[in-house]
Every structure is written in structure tokens, then in C-alpha cells.
Amino acid sequence: MRKIEKLSISEKTTDYLEKRKKEAKKFNLNKKARKEIISKLKSSQKDLCCYCECRINYKNQHIEHFFEQKTHKDLIFDYPNNLFLSCEGEPETEQEQKNRKQNITCGHKKSNVNLENVNYVLLINPQKIEKILFLYLENGKIEASKQCNEQEEKKVNYSIKRLNLDCEKLERNRREAIFRIGKELFILSIMEQKNYIRMLLNENNDEFPAFYSAIKDNFGFIINI
């Protein structure tokens, strides 16, 4: 999970959301507003899920309410403070799909009706990240970074469990992403490696590679060799 700084939406769409806030009890949008909001969120998030950082696209995304609709009705149409794009979080293997509720991740895991209400004191908001909180290991595992104090570590551990960021699917996908990059670097000179990693991790890129933070944690040091 990385800090997300949202791009602004148009005044017309902002006014529309304010109108919907007064009129509607459930979250639904007209096509034009939905298209703009999704476009702005995708650009803000560099085409990555706001939680796990997998690649999102029209088949693998939904507008996510960080603060759940059932408990924060006043924030249902609050684009600046509550809307993100999450992946669908679906299990991939047949074995994982047999126990879907346990293996689903990210936004749909967070809102699972079988879980207790979200603890927003502990759940990390992607907009509120001000330091490196998560550490991604070479084996695909995720844990609190060494920079975390005791309370921050509690938040990281709660967020990992609530969003299922340590599930087998995500560990596997992060591990494979790290392995692919390592394999590509193996045939490059040191200078080529530096340029390649610098290109991948460039904050000005319109899109980031899937599992950007995992790649950065494992290969970012190469830039400074």
C-alpha cells in the first residue's frame, strides 16, 4: 500500500455528487460521472489497486468506499475523502476459490458482512500515509516496516489482516513479480540495471508496474549503487 494523492474532478461532477448526496440513499452514478471518477482515480493510483497494488482494469475494479456505506452514509458520495479504486480481490486458483470468503482480498474483504465492523482507528487510509509503513520481502510476504513505532505496527498488522494482504495469492503474485524483475536484471550491466529500475520506479510515470512497492523495496537500492 502506498500514499495516494487524488486528482481533482470537474466542478460539474462535484456539483452532481453534492446533489446525489441530498437525494440518494444508495451509491449509484450516471455514466458520465462514473466514467470521470474512475478515470481520475485510475490516474491518481497509477492503475494500481489502492490496497494490494495489483493491476486494475475495467474487468478487475470497483469504486471503493474506505468508510463503509452502511456506517458512514454521509460519506457515500464524498470523492475527496472516501472514494478509491480497489481490485475485485477474487481468488485465482481452484483451491482458493473453494473458500472464496476466506481468500478474497482488499475492498470486498474489508466489507465482508461476516466480519466485525471496521476499526478505522487501526485501518490505514491510503491518503493518510506519511511514511513507509509496509515492508515487502523477497519471498512475497508483507510486514510492518522497521520505521514503524508500536502504534503504527498495530495499524499495519490490522490492515494486513482486514484486507487479507498476506493471503497466498498476493504473496505468490508479489514473489513472481520480484522474480521476473530479478531475471531481467540478471542479463544487464550495472548501468543498465540502474536505468531500468530508475525507469520502473519513476514517480512521474502515468502507470506503475503491478506491486510497485514490493519492487521498490527489493530493487530500489540498485539506483544508488
Share of the chain above pLDDT 70, in %: 99
CB 42 within 8 A of CB 85: yes
In this predicted model, what pLDDT tens digit does every residue of 130-156 receive, in sequence order? 999 999 999 999 999 999 999 999 999
Element (H, E) at 65: strand 62-65
Report d(CA 83, CA 98) in Å as an integer: 30
In this predicted model, what pLDDT tens digit does every residue of 182-204 receive, in sequence order? 999 999 999 999 999 999 999 99
CB 67 within 8 A of CB 76: no
Report d(CA 179, CA 98) in Å as an integer: 28
Beta-bridged to residue 85, according to DSSP, are 63
- Nearest alpha-carbon partner for 133 in 120, 146, 119: 146
In this predicted model, what pLDDT tens digit does every residue of 30-80 receive, in sequence order? 999 999 999 999 999 999 999 999 999 999 999 999 999 999 999 999 999
Q: Is this model's pTM higher than 0.85 or not?
A: yes
C-alpha cell at 57: 482494469
pLDDT above 80 (res 115)? no
